[in-house]
Amino acid sequence: MHSVYSDGELTPAQLVAEARRVGMDFMATTEHNTADAHQAWSLAAAEGLTIVIGEEVTTESGHWLALGIRSGQLVDWRYGVRDQVVQQHLDQVHAVSGIGVVCHPHAPYPTGTFRYPYDGFDVVEVWNGLWTSDRPWNADNEAGLDDWSRDLARDIREGWWRPAMGNSDTHLEGQIGLPHTVVLAEALSPEALLAGIRAGRSWVAGSTQIELEFSATSGSAQTKPKSSATSGADQADQADQADQADQADQADQAERADQAERADQAERAEIGERLATRGEPFTVHLQVRGLAGGVVSFHTDRGEVLRENFSGPSHRTAWGGNAGEARLVRCEVRHRDGSMAAFTNPIVLD
């Protein structure tokens, strides 16, 4: 988020009012190479909107976000990839429990293209907003998504993966929330929000009207079909019928107990979490709301495994697999023209 303190056209107060109008719960201040606005943004936080203090570190070899820094802290930007000093500046951010985010890695201007190795960075900005473009999703974002998704399988095998996020990169009026990151945080505090972003407990949407639920379950979560029998009641006496009724009641009680036991044993994971399949089949569930229609797809480390067209304001679907078939699964929701509406960080399948 950029205000008049760097190269934006709106004041912090105007940005806060617009963020609240479109339904934002929090926002990050990321003025270019300055801490001058931190106090103004801190005052804005008292107006009911959580503010994460940050900086867009605009170096000659690419931009990165320092999120969660202290008010008044300035991260140096006067270097390039050849100086080999970016890690020491990341260390300064990590020292105050902040995170470093790769910004718009394929931005089509000289200093915007990210030329540093991703090593040491916590998150990558896959979806960057409108800024001077009239297209909310463009080829630069598609290239960022391809890079990130290609690295996911390797990173997960190595034991750690780098989450994705999306930011409006607001400079002008009317850009807030296009896109934005939805964080499944434990609380609406800067610390909890940063923890959720760092852990990948988040998904990205192009509109605040979009709602999405994405989860995976394993174990014996499916109920068994009821067995049935035909009893020739016209040939049985009342005692036989009563005996059959008692047996049916006992069978129903046993079935309910069996279902409860299997539900307790089932595992469940949401976005950014790990699902312990324990050798059992798994099922991935999605519900999306707030779109007139589009295309849903599921992606694993082996490629796309589900694609469905849908119409109407709500769509629910599921896909199942066996343990070992995939190490991760993530979701994309696109408009009919192929542009992105929402995407998730992965669920890791163990």
Q: Is 179 inside any structural domain?
A: yes
Q: Is 244 inside any structural domain?
A: no
Q: pTM for the whole thing? A: 0.85
Q: Is 192 inside any structural domain?
A: yes
pLDDT at 220: 57
Q: Is 254 inside any structural domain?
A: no
Same domain, 179 and 216: no
Same domain, 59 and 156: yes
Same domain, 155 and 216: no
Stretches in the chain below the pLDDT threshold 70? 46, 131-133, 220-266
Please give the tally of structural domains in the chain. Answer: 2
Q: Is 181 inside any structural domain?
A: yes
**Alpha carbon separation from 214 to 238, 271, 272, 289 (Å, rounded):** 52, 6, 10, 12
- 8 A C-beta contact, residue 278 and residue 266: no
**Residues of the domain holding 308:** 212-220+267-349
CATH number for the domain spanning 290: value is 2.60.40
Same domain, 74 and 193: yes
Same domain, 175 and 306: no
Q: Is 3 inside any structural domain?
A: no
Q: Is 76 inside any structural domain?
A: yes
Strands annotated E in the chain: 26-29, 50-59, 62-67, 99-102, 123-128, 164-167, 180-183, 202-205, 211-218, 267-270, 274-275, 282-289, 293-300, 303-311, 314-321, 328-334, 340-344, 347-349
pLDDT at 342: 98
Backbone angles phi, psi at 339, to 5 degrees: -75, 155
Same domain, 46 and 34: yes
pLDDT at 238: 43
- DSSP string across 269-281: EETT-EE--TTS-
CATH number for the domain spanning 119: value is 3.20.20.140
pLDDT at 210: 97
